[in-house]
Amino acid sequence: MELSKETIEKAFEAIEVAKTTGKIKKGINEVTKVIEKGIARLVVVAKDTNPAEIIMHIKPLCEDKGIPCVEVSSREELGTAAGIQRPTSVVAVLQEGEAKGLIKEITEKVLPKEHAEHVAKKPVEEEPVKEKKKPAKKAKAKEEEAEEKPVEEEISEE
């Protein structure tokens, strides 16, 4: 299904707004992960990605998860909209921020009605924050113990 220029422009605008007031992910690997988790709100893919095989899985994956997916013509334009200096093949919006209305409009045009309603009601899930591991207490205790013991020198008899 070919989308109108207006819908494509709204997709670019949604990315630009979400990058400042919400949260986006850029790149094939990062976007694939958030689609699989079902936390992407909008996915935008560049048609001029070469080789095309690296993005072939994105559209079917979005359909399975009920996530709106928009195809745009240029990686350069997509990279610019995402606020990076390099072309990018795919961008996902995770948290809409002030782009909520734009994404709702895009979703209504891209997805069938029953999917659009499902996505609108879906709660926003955030990625879990990974905690840094604290050093083990046993290791710290051993270090302190080693500092307290004097090192005995071996005396060899010759």
What digits encode the pLDDT tens for the residues 127-140?
444 444 554 555 55
Residue 74 lies in a domain: yes
pLDDT digits (tens, 9 = 90+) for 62-93: 999 999 999 999 999 999 999 999 999 999 99
- pLDDT on residue 49: 92
Per-residue model confidence (pLDDT) at position 113 = 57
Q: Any idea what the CATH number is for the domain that residue 93 is in?
A: 3.30.1330.30
Residue 9 inside a domain? The answer is yes
Residue 147 domain-assigned?
no
Stretches in the chain below the pLDDT threshold 50:
116-121, 123-132, 135, 158
Count of domains for the chain = 1
Range of the domain at 13: 5-121
Query: Interhelix angle for 28-37 vs 58-65, to 10°?
Result: 20
Q: Is residue 60 part of a domain?
A: yes
Sheet of 42-46, strand order: 23-26, 90-95, 42-46, 69-72
Nearest to 67 by CA among 51, 44, 46: 44
Query: Whole-angstrom Cα distance, residue 139 to residue 126?
Result: 34
